[in-house]
Structure 1
């Protein structure tokens, strides 16, 4: 049964997607640093690596956006798929888009057996600064203490959450492409799935998980839209292209194994859409994730296809701003060319001309530290403005599972092992 409280939204990348509200920025810098030092309840847009251990690495993430109204007394059993494995998982609960505090009275994490059921003996109660519950103010996030649990790579971690007072706008991620579970009342400690009979296709409140790998490794964070979010890939199969990239990194024995998927369907670089703009999200969704060495920027189609669309100089200026800020934070940036979309209802010759101009600039070098040519990987060689038929999900914009694999395979893995640059003064 589908959760009736799950948000109802138009199809990704359509003009009817409702714009998300943006919560005001952080408080004074001194207050930010003080809260970060005490670990819990640091502002969501300045939740930095200093809040985690020196070797913690993000293993899963989802771009935070405003969902529907929170429901008091509801429990969520959220299924997420890890990239890098490790011990001591820590979860980040976000109230970035809320307008009032939210109390989480009980939070557990365990390994999934099947459905909503957990592997016996793995469900662990999470604490926050040693306390079994946490209240997260509006516009903030809370990071749990490490749990006594080993999380394998490429496994399903289940985070069970209960809030007795949730109300107002809920923060989460709408397009999970994964089935999670809901219930009424606090059944978070149960390993059985008996009370978790309703389902939801969204993640509520949870926006990141980190672990402590056995050996030093790093992570890559992908800033993107519905193509990165995985729309039209197979639900529950973890065939979004960042998941497939994580597979390649594991098989290659790379020093970068964590992958944070910061895609939001309908998202734009320059302005707010189905979520905050990429310029706004860069801090909390990407740079704040522990262990991130490199950022992949694969976004811009929504900026140019909505009317009035952005010009190539406008979009490239946004890209340059993201690169500058990422470099200042000691990260390298890989730019991905924009994929073909002729045949999609909003395609126009003008939008295509902008796409080609942007792609020429990306390929030309000098803007990014490295380039992933997603356009070349996906386009039909006979009709280069269109997706290759074998990769087209049918809507002429979103790749199917095979197309997702083609994007992941186009990434140069050696470009992702970027050692941190010196921070800017």
Structure 2
């Protein structure tokens, strides 16, 4: 449970933010007893060169149900404006094919197109109607003039589709002949629901991103967590998976560092109540001289910034990885020191001990073979489920 000193510090930070914060943006609109909550998210990163006159049919899985769907398009890593001249939202029937009469046009400020400046994002207008939980939502978009660096999420663990020309309005999958394992330009989906309903954002690396889980089955650990939350007596229903393969807490590389992307990938999302921080193994196994005190300082910055935004932070211990080529006793020593801080410092509002859940009882430095995805670092589907099952759902249902 949270330490008293943490509660006091967070309450003061929340009061300070409330006094100084600007008016809420349109992307987080609320009215009376209802507000926006993120139902899906994926961290934006660079995705190579953009392609003009290309359509993308992106398959994503919702978590919380709600009305008035909105999407966020990202050009965060572009070096020039990108125009989306046709954007639709529908429900998937099978493959690239949609449920009949489910495909509906999205608008932006009342227009059928939007131009997103380099480094910026854009929210769609609310789309009237109900979006169920645990649904395969399909966002189809067309870029007539895209060029330069593309923005998106590289390791989706979900098959989406691309096509030449504009086929966004089509409900059948005939012209969507090119599968892709990435999500392009789309980085968030939100819905409007009860103001009592909140969301949790999982901030992490490739384990959170789902590597070694089975593609197209939604078996990342945040997916299993979302299924638990749907059945539980809790007001936290939304889950956003903001993992990036290879990501570090302190240094840019595989995506911006957790510190540098915290605002965009976590704090900017509507309805977030809790940040679930599970990251650090890439910092310590990279042998760049990162010590326990360095990672701890990074964690503290994330906790302080989240608390200042009125959000709780659950810290997760760094999982074992002996057998991975970069493992050595020095990195293991740092891991043990970092985990001791996460468990015992009282600086997190709650702790989930993934280390104890995943490690072998015969060698605490190794992942249990039953949970091992094959490389001694990434859990398989069973390991992902065990991680989600270890999360205390009451710890996510917190607030200022």
1:215: how far off?
6.9
Alignment correspondent of 2:70: 90
> Residues of 2 paired with 1:409 and 1:213: CA distance?
26
> Residues of 2 paired with 1:289 and 1:337: CA distance?
25
1:214: how far off?
5.7
Alignment correspondent of 1:139: 119
Alignment correspondent of 1:16: none
Compare the two structures and name the one with the higher strand fraction.
2
> Does the alignment pair 1:64 with 2:53?
no
Q: In 2, are the aligned partners of 1:52 and 1:290 still within 8 Å (CA)?
A: no
Instruction: Between 208-217 and 197-206, report the one with greater CA deviation.
Output: 208-217
Alignment correspondent of 1:322: 302
Unaligned runs of 5+ in 2: 1-20
Q: 1:94 to 1:52 in 2, by over 3 A?
A: farther
> Does the alignment pair 1:197 with 2:177?
yes
Alignment correspondent of 1:390: 370
Alignment correspondent of 2:245: 265
> Does the alignment pair 1:310 with 2:285?
no
Q: Deviations over 1:129-174 (max 9, x none)?
A: 1110000000000000111232111110000000100010011000
Alignment correspondent of 1:363: 343
> Residues of 2 paired with 1:50 and 1:252: CA distance?
26
Q: Deviations over 1:55-91 (max 9, x none)?
A: 1110000011011111000000000011111111100
Alignment correspondent of 1:174: 154
Give the alignment partner of residue 232 of structure 2, picking from 246, 252, 255. Answer: 252
Q: In structure 1, the residue corresponding to 2:35 is in which secondary structure?
A: coil
Q: In structure 2, the residue corresponding to 1:148 is in which secondary structure?
A: strand
> Does the alignment pair 1:235 with 2:200?
no
> Residues of 2 paired with 1:291 and 1:178: CA distance?
25
Aligned alpha-carbon RMSD (Å): 1.6
Alignment correspondent of 1:121: 101
Alignment correspondent of 2:328: 348
> Does the alignment pair 1:76 with 2:46?
no
> Residues of 2 paired with 1:133 and 1:268: CA distance?
36
Alignment correspondent of 1:209: 189
Unaligned runs of 5+ in 1: 1-31, 40-47
> Residues of 2 paired with 1:309 and 1:302: CA distance?
12
> Does the alignment pair 1:154 with 2:134?
yes
Q: 1:98 to 1:143 in 2, by over 3 A?
A: same
Q: 1:214 to 1:191 in 2, by over 3 A?
A: farther
1:213: how far off?
2.7
Q: 1:348 to 1:261 in 2, by over 3 A?
A: same
Give the alignment partner of residue 296 of structure 1, picking from 276, 287, 293. Answer: 276
Q: In 2, are the aligned partners of 1:217 and 1:257 still within 8 Å (CA)?
A: yes
Q: In 1, are the aligned partners of 2:28 and 2:35 still within 8 Å (CA)?
A: no
- Residue correspondence of structure 1 range 366-377 to structure 2 within 5 A: 366-377=346-357
Q: In structure 2, the residue corresponding to 1:80 is in which secondary structure?
A: strand
Q: In 2, are the aligned partners of 1:111 and 1:151 still within 8 Å (CA)?
A: no
Q: In 1, are the aligned partners of 2:29 and 2:35 still within 8 Å (CA)?
A: no
> Residues of 2 paired with 1:170 and 1:408: CA distance?
32
Q: In structure 2, the residue corresponding to 1:360 is in which secondary structure?
A: helix
Q: In 1, are the aligned partners of 2:65 and 2:132 still within 8 Å (CA)?
A: yes
Alignment correspondent of 1:22: none
Q: In 1, are the aligned partners of 2:30 and 2:36 still within 8 Å (CA)?
A: no
> Residues of 1 paired with 2:195 and 2:105: CA distance?
26
